[in-house]
Every structure is written in structure tokens, then in C-alpha cells.
Amino acid sequence: MRPWRSRPSDRSSYHHGNLKEALIEAARRFIAERGLGGFTLVDAARLVGVSPAALYRHFRGREALLEEVAERGFTELAARLGRALRGSGTPLERFTRMGEAYLAFAEEEPGYYAAIFEARPPAPEGCDPAPRPRDQDAFSLLVEALRTTFPDGFSGVDPRFIALEVWALSHGIATLAAAGRLPSGPGLPSKYDLLRAGVLALVHGAAARKS
């Protein structure tokens, strides 16, 4: 787990010109340290040195705070994927670097990563949660990268279907690595090599079906 930059009781590290940002950072830290269910609004308030009632000036409740952390996580993930996609090299090199950026994000930002895939936006009673706009940002970048890297397509298969497979593979490897369940040792690939080989096998296999 990433260490705290300051002690949890060190209230002097927060300056409440922007309490909302301090609360988001506190929640991100708690999630990284303890998991999504590992803190309460009272914990967040105590960490930033305010009363629990002060939190409700910015968030309707704990789920709203978690959803804001998830939104920030999606923004950061999309930014990293975008930088990889716009980098130097061939389209295939840029495409594989997107996978490396994804795994690095999952490792370096465990709080954001957990919130992205576990937090759910609040919805009126009886209604399904509204989709996050940021979900589509990162996914659209992946679809764009597939279309650029493989302009001949995938034998009529919608590139969005291939993108979902790539994302599922990436998420699986990132999750196994975070849990310490990814086998390692002499002769075994790193998580980056494993993802690169798996993704290339998937997309090249899909492209080969063209014939």
C-alpha cells in the first residue's frame, strides 16, 4: 500500500480554502489504504479536521464522495491513455503503450482504480444508476487506438467489441497483480509483457478472421 504523506492525525497539512478537494484526497487515501469499504464520512471529516456536518455542504453522502473520487480517477486514466496514444512511434507501439499506461495507473493510483470499478453513482429510488460520462472517455480512446492500429478492421466485427475484450484482459491482469495473485519467477513474463502478448494475440487473431 502507498504510505500516507502525513500522519492521519496531522490536520495542519490541510488548508480549507478548498474543503471539497481535501475531502476527495482523504477518501482517495483511505481507499488506497483500506479498500472501498474501509472508511466512513466521520473518518474523512476527522482526517481533514472538520465536523461531519461540514461535509454535507459539498456531498450528499458517502456514495456521492466516492463517486467524485471515481470521476477523478477516470479523468486521470483517460489522460494517461491519451498521452500514450498521442506519443511517438508506430500505431502498434502507441497501442501497446496504452496497456502499459493502464497497468501503471492501477499500480500507482490504487485509490482511484478501486473507486472507478466499485463506486456507483447515486440514483433516484427505483432507477438504475446513470452512466458516467468518463466511462466513455477512456473506452473511446481504446476504440480509436484499435481503428488507427488496424485500419483494415476485424472482418466485420465491431471494434468496440474487441475493445471490451482488451479492457477485460487489462483489468484482469491489473487486479491479479494488485492482489499478489499473478505468478512470477524465472521464465514467467512480467505483467507488462503478459498484457502485451495477450492483447496482440487477441487483436491479431481477430484481424486474421478477416480471411
* Average pLDDT, integer, range 170-179: 95
**What pTM, to 2 d.p., does this model score?**
0.82
Q: Which three cell numbers stand for residue 4?
A: 500516507
91-108 and 133-149 helices cross at what angle (nearest 10)?
Answer: 150
Which pLDDT score, from 0 to 100, does residue 119 have? Answer: 66
Counting every residue, how long is the chain? Answer: 211
How would residue 136 be classed by pLDDT, with cut points 50, 70 and 90?
low
* Average pLDDT, integer, range 116-127: 63
Compute the C-alpha angle 3/32/136, nearest 5°. Answer: 135
- What ranges in the chain are assigned the alpha helix state H? 19-34, 41-48, 52-55, 62-85, 91-108, 110-118, 133-149, 159-178, 191-208
What is the torsion angle, in degrees rounded to the nearest 10, for the CA atoms of residue 37, residue 42, residue 43 and residue 49? Answer: 150
DSSP label of 124: -
Out of 1-5, 109-113, 183-187, give the one with best mean pLDDT. Answer: 109-113
Q: How far is CA 129 from the centre of its chain?
A: 19
Instruction: Give the residue carrying C-alpha cell 473511446.
Output: 140
Nearest-angstrom CA–CA distance, 180 and 175: 9
Which pLDDT score, from 0 to 100, does residue 207 have? Answer: 76
Residue 101: pLDDT above 70? yes
